[in-house]
């Protein structure tokens, strides 16, 4: 079934007519121009495009971190735009995982407590079996008692990925998740993210500038001037690099 034929509720995340501008009058920038997009479950999608094309704005709106001016966003069958602040906070805590370039771990607590933090904040107990599955998959078993500064960059990012996966969110958003890692460590983290889509059914949406990172995704969406202008299935470094070059023309 192609993405066009699925009803919107069958997607982990979808948006229709998403529009967003910044500034006023002469400084006004149209960051998103009526974007329609849908992300099927258990898929790893990368969003790419030239600087200023609207990638971060799209991701921040989809994740409820920024507010679109108009349009509809559905996450797990729920309408994000109609939620009040409390509902949005709950949605972000329980249905959305985040992996940022800067890891964003709490420095004073160990890896295990960092991984459990979103559940602790929500006042929920963790499912031990799932915790063990995630820890084993990410190779973190012998690092759980270490504080972030006692871990390498790659290990810190694996802790952040584990934290994102632990709530079994509808979607994990990655914002240049390997931007601070060397290429070998980045490749390791990306493989683990891809494994989580294949073996755990996780849906992942990642913004990146790096064709090598994007080649781990199932699909690359291409943006230009606040619009989606194309997509690549089963991307390779070469096909992504070529597509980006033609966008820049
Ligand atoms: N807070 C803001 N205030 C004003 N303009 C903004 C703001 N955030 C983004 N913009 C503008 O909106 C447009 C889209 O920006 P966005 O950050 O989404 O692009 P991007 O594709 O993620 O860029 P990059 O690859 O450089 O991170 C740009 O023209 C940018 O200058």
Q: 68-102 pLDDT, tens per residue?
A: 999 999 998 899 989 999 999 888 888 999 998 88
Query: Which of 128-132's residues contact partners 24+ apart within 8 Å by CB, and which partners?
Result: 130/166, 130/168, 131/166
248 Cα–ligand 1 center, Å: 17
Atom 5 in ligand 1: which residue has the minimum CA distance? 22
Task: Provide the whole-model pTM.
Answer: 0.92
What ipTM describes this predicted complex?
0.97
Which of 211, 244, 209, 214 lies closest to 229, judged by CA?
244
Per domain, the residue ranges of the chain are 41-55+84-248
Candidate CATH numbers 3.40.50.720, 3.40.50.360, 3.40.50.300, 3.40.50.1110; the one for domain 41-55+84-248: 3.40.50.300
120 compared with 2, residue with greater pLDDT: 120
Identify the sign of the CA torsion 6, 57, 194, 112: negative
Q: Can you give the pLDDT at residue 1?
A: 41
Q: Can you give the pLDDT at residue 232?
A: 96
Q: How confident is the model at residue 5 (pLDDT cuts 50, 70, 90)?
A: low
Report the pocket of ligand 1 as residue ranges, CB < 6 Å: 22-23, 29, 31, 49, 51-57
Span 91-100, pLDDT tens digits: 888 899 999 8
Across 223-234, b (16+ Cβ under 10 Å) vs e yields bbebbbeeebee
Atom 3 in ligand 1: which residue has the minimum CA distance? 22
Tokens of 219: 């699909």
244 Cα–ligand 1 center, Å: 18
Atom 2 in ligand 1: which residue has the minimum CA distance? 22
Q: How confident is the model at residue 200 (pLDDT cuts 50, 70, 90)?
A: confident
- Report the residue among 23, 35, 52, 61 best suited for mutation to probe ligand 1: largest number of ligand atoms under 8 A from its CB: 52
What torsion, rounded to 10 degrees, do the Cα atoms 244, 69, 171, 169 define? Answer: 160
- Percentages helix, strand, coil for the chain, rounded to the nearest 5? 40, 25, 35
């Amino acid at each position: 079934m192609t993405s066009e034929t699925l009803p919107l509720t069958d997607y982990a995340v979808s948006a229709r007519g998403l529009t967003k501008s910044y500034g006023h009058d002469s400084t006004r920038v149209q960051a998103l121009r009526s974007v329609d997009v849908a992300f099927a479950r258990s898929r790893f999608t990368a969003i790419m495009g030239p600087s200023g094309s609207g990638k971060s704005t799209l991701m921040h709106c989809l994740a409820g971190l920024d507010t679109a001016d108009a349009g509809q966003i559905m996450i797990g069958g729920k309408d994000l735009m109609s939620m009040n602040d409390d509902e949005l906070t709950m949605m972000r805590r329980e249905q959305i995982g985040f992996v940022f370039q800067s890891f964003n771990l709490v420095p004073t607590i160990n890896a295990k407590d960092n991984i459990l933090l979103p559940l602790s904040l929500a006042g929920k107990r963790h499912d031990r079996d799932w915790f063990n599955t995630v820890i084993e998959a990410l190779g973190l078993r012998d690092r759980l008692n270490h504080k972030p500064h006692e871990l390498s960059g790659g290990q810190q990012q694996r802790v952040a990925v584990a934290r994102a996966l632990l709530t079994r969110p509808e979607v994990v958003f990655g914002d240049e998740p390997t931007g601070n890692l060397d290429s070998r460590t980045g490749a390791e983290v990306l493989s683990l993210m891809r494994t989580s889509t294949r073996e755990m059914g996780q849906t992942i949406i990642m913004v990146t500038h790096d064709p090598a990172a994007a080649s781990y995704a199932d699909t690359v969406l291409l943006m230009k001037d606040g619009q989606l202008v194309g997509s690549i299935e089963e991307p390779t470094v070469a096909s992504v690099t070529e597509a980006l070059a033609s966008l820049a023309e």
